[in-house]
Amino acid sequence: MSPELNFQVIPLDEVPSNEPIVQRAPPVVLVVDDERVIADTLSVILSKNGFAVITAYSGESALELAGVVPPELLISDVAMPGMNGIELAIALVQSIPDCKVLLFSGQASTVDLLDKARHEGHHFTLILKPVHPTDLLTRIADCLKNREMITPQLPPLLVTSPQIATPQTVE
């Protein structure tokens, strides 16, 4: 039986979006979680803050999307059926070495999986659930602070204004 988690609910209209973190070409962020509500909520928060967001609900579909639109940042849950978030991160970084990775989880068993990946030479950042949107945005800004300001080659479906990006979802 899973332990009961107590999450603080933050209304979307209270998520900070005074000034977008992104000033030029928006970074492409791939958000992956098998829990659709979490993936979609993260996508909306990031979109409100100027990111170009792609949303997937499995590791396998995330890899397919990354092959079409290479992300600069992967934000993924660790515990997912099929390919877990660490396996996804390893596969993605092997094909897109400059992609940054933020993993999140509410399960203690994640630490063991992350230690195994570290012993194999992979160093990913883990954020424990629940995470406040402001803290998440700060972590994302830290990950992307050294990015080159190059306009990504986005297909027309993903081209958005610099202020708001439209989340894209894949089953």
Does the domain made of 22-144 have the CATH classification 3.10.20.30?
Answer: no
Residue 24's CB is within 10 A of a number of other CB atoms, namely 12
Alpha helices per DSSP H over 49-119? 59-68, 85-95, 110-119
Q: Which residue matches tokens 């909520």?
A: 41
**15-58 per-position pLDDT tens digit:** 766 565 545 678 999 999 999 999 999 999 999 999 999 999 99
Query: Which pLDDT value is given to residue 106?
Result: 73
**103-154 per-position pLDDT tens digit:** 988 766 666 666 666 767 667 778 887 888 888 899 998 888 876 544 344 4
Mean pLDDT of 75-79: 92
Q: Rg of the Cα trace of the chain?
A: 15
Query: Which pLDDT value is given to residue 23?
Result: 55
Which residue ranges make up each domain of the chain? 22-144
pTM of the model as a whole: 0.70
